[in-house]
């Protein structure tokens, strides 16, 4: 009887030790989770995820894609209680609004702003990430197949031959869409620009929710013309797509995209370690691979097939107040 009791006690002790051991291992293997909201394209997200995982194997880093409008709206609604730690690839107008609301951490003394080109730094609450230029992008295979004339101006895009063959990002949800709207408002005046987009909508197959949408539609052969991001088009060209970016007299619309830390998270050493790498070394790598338009003072970047000598549009008055006014009119 005693031997049975001893064996039972030994078995119970072994079971307890096994539970403790498993619990200890689980606790040991638990990783620090860092969530990054980003509006970057899939190919950039894939590259950044691999580099972040390689650099920080002890952290679980999640790149959570959101279109620019949803990205900003969620952070405005959540404030400092947002479940993310870092905001990435957010258009400056949205970033400025979040900074004014007190939802972004002041990076003064925590980041070296002197490494960036002077015209890219607008605030100590968000750092430059990409200079994002736009173009009228043509799928030359579709042009040849449908025997279309190559447009030479924005006015040409109103031609009925392009009906259902144009894609544009919605200014309401996409920073890319908004930069096209603002550029023509600045070039022509508000009334003429809105009248133009009313007419252009007759030829537009779809207003996409993200800036990458038109290039995706072009690559799929769904449209012939996309109002899209030059860098996205060049990436697809270098992968073999028969696309051609062109620029009209008004110039290339552009905007800056930035990255910042949610207020209160700047005291977290791990978050700042990841942000430090993301905003410097990894940003440089992405610039060299995909977005060569100048960000850093000491870097002149060249990407195969990227247009040179681009004339940029007038993008003045790019403020949160002006954006609210124009988007209210657009949505109405």
CATH of the domain at 203: 3.40.190.10
Residue % of the chain over a pLDDT of 70:
91
Residue 79 and residue 57 share a domain: yes
Q: Say yes or no to pLDDT of 3 above 70.
A: no
What is the full DSSP assignment across 49-104? HHHHHHH-TTEEEEEEE--HHHHHHHHHHHGGG-S-SEEEEEEHHHHHHHHHTT-B
Q: Which of 118-127, 141-150, 186-195, 258-267 has the lowest mean pLDDT?
A: 118-127
Scored b (16 or more CB within 10 A) or e, 222-260 reads: bbbbbbbbbbbbbbbbeeebebbbebbebbbbbbbbbbb
pLDDT number for residue 293: 84
Residue 327 and residue 202 share a domain: yes
Residue 216 and residue 154 share a domain: yes
Q: Which of 12-16, 72-76, 237-241, 242-246 has the lowest mean pLDDT?
A: 12-16
Residue 263 and residue 228 share a domain: no
pLDDT number for residue 211: 86
Residue % of the chain over a pLDDT of 90:
74
Average pLDDT of every residue of the chain: 90
Residue 152 and residue 102 share a domain: no
pLDDT level of residue 255 (50, 70, 90 thresholds): confident
Residue 292 and residue 222 share a domain: no
Region of 66 (left: φ > 0; alpha: ψ -120 to 50; beta: rest) is beta
Residues 29-52, mean pLDDT to the nearest whole number: 94
Give the number of other CB atoms < 10 A from CB of residue 127: 26
Per the model's pLDDT, the better-predicted residue between 110 and 8 turns out to be 110
pLDDT number for residue 5: 46
Residue 290 and residue 215 share a domain: no
Please tell me the pTM assigned to this model: 0.74
pLDDT number for residue 2: 44
pLDDT number for residue 22: 52
Give the number of other CB atoms < 10 A from CB of residue 34: 23
Q: Say yes or no to pLDDT of 4 above 50.
A: no
Q: Which of 141-155, 223-237, 271-285, 288-302 has the lowest mean pLDDT?
A: 288-302
Residue numbers of the domain that contains 139: 132-254+323-331
Residues 131-138, mean pLDDT to the nearest whole number: 94
Q: Say yes or no to pLDDT of 222 above 80.
A: yes
Would you say residue 312 lies in a domain? Answer: no
How far apart CA 122 and CA 113 sit, in angstroms, is: 10
Q: Are 241 and 216 in contact (CB under 8 A)?
A: no
How far apart CA 211 and CA 231 sit, in angstroms, is: 11
Q: Say yes or no to pLDDT of 309 above 70.
A: yes
Number of domains in the chain: 2
Residue 144 and residue 73 share a domain: no
Q: Are 165 and 214 in contact (CB under 8 A)?
A: no
């Amino acid at each position: 009887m005693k031997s049975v009791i001893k064996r039972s006690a030994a078995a119970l002790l072994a079971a307890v030790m096994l539970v403790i051991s498993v619990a200890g291992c689980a606790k040991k293997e638990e990783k620090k989770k860092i969530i990054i909201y980003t509006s970057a394209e899939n190919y950039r997200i894939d590259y950044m995820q691999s580099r972040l995982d390689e650099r920080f194997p002890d952290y679980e880093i999640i790149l959570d894609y959101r279109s620019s409008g949803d990205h900003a709206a969620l952070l405005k609604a959540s404030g400092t209680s947002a479940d993310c730690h870092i905001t990435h690839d957010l258009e400056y107008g949205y970033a400025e609004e979040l900074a004014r609301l007190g939802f972004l951490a002041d990076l003064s003394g925590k980041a070296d702003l002197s490494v960036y080109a002077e015209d890219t730094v607008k605030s100590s609450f968000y750092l430059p990430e990409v200079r994002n230029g736009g173009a009228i992008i043509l799928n030359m295979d579709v042009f040849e197949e449908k025997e279309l004339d190559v447009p030479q101006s924005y006015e040409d895009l109103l031609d009925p031959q392009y009906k259902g063959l144009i894609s544009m990002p919605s200014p309401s949800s996409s920073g890319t869409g908004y930069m096209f709207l603002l550029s023509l408002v600045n070039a022509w005046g508000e009334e003429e620009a809105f009248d133009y987009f009313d007419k252009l909508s007759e030829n537009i197959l779809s207003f996409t929710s993200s800036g990458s949408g038109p290039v995706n539609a072009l690559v799929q052969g769904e449209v012939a013309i996309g109002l899209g991001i030059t860098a996205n088009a060049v990436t697809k060209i270098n992968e073999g797509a028969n696309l051609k970016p062109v620029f009209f007299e008004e110039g290339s619309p552009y905007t800056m995209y930035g990255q910042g830390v949610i207020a209160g998270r700047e005291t977290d050493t791990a978050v700042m370690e990841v942000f430090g790498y993301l905003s410097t070394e990894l940003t440089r790598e992405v610039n060299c691979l995909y977005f060569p338009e100048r960000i850093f003072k000491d870097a002149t970047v060249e990407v195969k097939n990227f247009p040179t000598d681009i004339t940029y549009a007038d993008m003045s008055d790019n403020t949160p107040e002006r954006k609210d006014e124009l988007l209210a009119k657009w949505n109405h």
